[in-house]
Structure 1
Amino acid sequence: MEPGTLLYDPATVKVGEYQDHLGKYAMLRPVGGGTEWSADPKTLRPPTDSERVRAGVRAANRQSLNTPGNNCQLPPLEPAIDLNVPPRPYPNCATCDELATLRRAAAKEHDYSAATDANVLLRRHHAQAHPQRTTEDPAE
């Protein structure tokens, strides 16, 4: 067995990534990371599609919760913003005005890729230059 191979352990009713052998046992760890466990290699089998998907969903849920004890290394997810609403420039900010002007010019030329790029740059500028503001609406 190759390290990283997904296997179903019927004793624990879990899918794990094969790590190595330790004596007569196979060492598995949860998909996405976590504490290893030992399993009888004679009982292991490849997971079904639904078992593999279920293990992936569990891993994604552990990462999104990011609670102590679940061994997640990822930071919590950022709050979602509506990307269909273009960011508005903050008052009296030359960089915001410049990026908004670029976005308007691109939209006028029907260059939607450049308009999207301007939106990305404006949102990045908001995060760096105006971190105290937490909303998309500069008037709030």
Structure 2
Amino acid sequence: MTTKSEPLEPGSLLYDPATRRVGEYQDRSGPYAMLRPVGGGREWQADPAALRPATDRERLSASVHAVNVRTRAVPPDPDDLSRPPRPVPGCAACGRLAGLRDAARTAHDRSAETDANVLLRKHQRQEHRA
């Protein structure tokens, strides 16, 4: 159980007993904690007092589930702005821009992450379109 003296950190993996799911802590919204599924997806509200850190087993299970969902998914449309662009294998510029995006994501800098996605899409349209 989390307490008021124990602040929640963005990116922490927490177990929500109400939904019996592991989620990545995003932020607070009024009296609720906002959680997002591991690997991305639709956020949900949770009671912060009921949340607890996910166990190693729960973390692994949530990660495996996210990978399975991702591998079954239809390949994204390159013009679909709802998903981040994937770097083209072997392209140094794509790799550099994806690295900038990953660093911004790690720093929880959503603005810089979006900027890197825009630059990566622009590069791909200019250099990788047939």
Matched to 2:71, the amino acid is S
Q: Runs of 5+ in structure 2 lacking a partner?
A: 1-7, 76-81, 87-130
* Alignment coverage as a number of residue pairs: 73
* Residues 100-131 of structure 1, C-alpha deviations (whole Å, 9 max, x = no match): xxxxxxxxxxxxxxxxxxxxxxxxxxxxxxxx
Deviation at residue 72 of structure 1 after TM alignment: 6.9
Identity of aligned residues (%): 60
What is aligned with 2:18?
11
Amino acid at match of 1:50: R
Match of 1:45 in 2: 52
Structure-to-structure mapping, 1:89-128, within 5 angstroms: none
In the alignment, the residues of structure 1 paired with residue 83 and residue 9 of structure 2 have an alpha-carbon distance, to the nearest angstrom, of: 24
Matched, 1:60 2:55: no
Contact persistence 1:63–1:73 (CA under 8 A): no
Question: In the alignment, what sits opposite 2:112?
Answer: none
TM-score, scaled to structure 1? 0.48
- Are residues 1:21 and 2:21 paired? no
Structure 1 residue 33 corresponds to structure 2 residue 40: yes
Question: Stretches of 4+ moved more than 3 A in 1?
Answer: 71-75
Q: Which runs of 5+ in 1 are unaligned?
A: 76-140
Rounded Cα–Cα distance in structure 2 between residues aligned with 1:39 and 1:52: 18
Q: Could you give the per-residue CA deviations for residues 68-127 of structure 1, whole angstroms, max 9, x where no partner exists? A: 9xx87688xxxxxxxxxxxxxxxxxxxxxxxxxxxxxxxxxxxxxxxxxxxxxxxxxxxx
CA contact (8 A) 1:63 1:72 kept: no
Aligned-partner residue type, residue 57 of structure 2: S
Distance (Å, rounded) in 1 between the aligned partners of 2:85 and 2:55: 28
Length-normalised TM-score, structure 2: 0.52
Which whole-Å CA distance do the structure 2 matches of 1:39 and 1:2 have between them?
A: 15
Q: Which structure would you say has the larger RCO, counting Cα contacts within 8 Å and 6 or more residues apart?
A: 2
Give the superposed CA RMSD: 2.1
Matched residue of 1:28: which SS?
strand
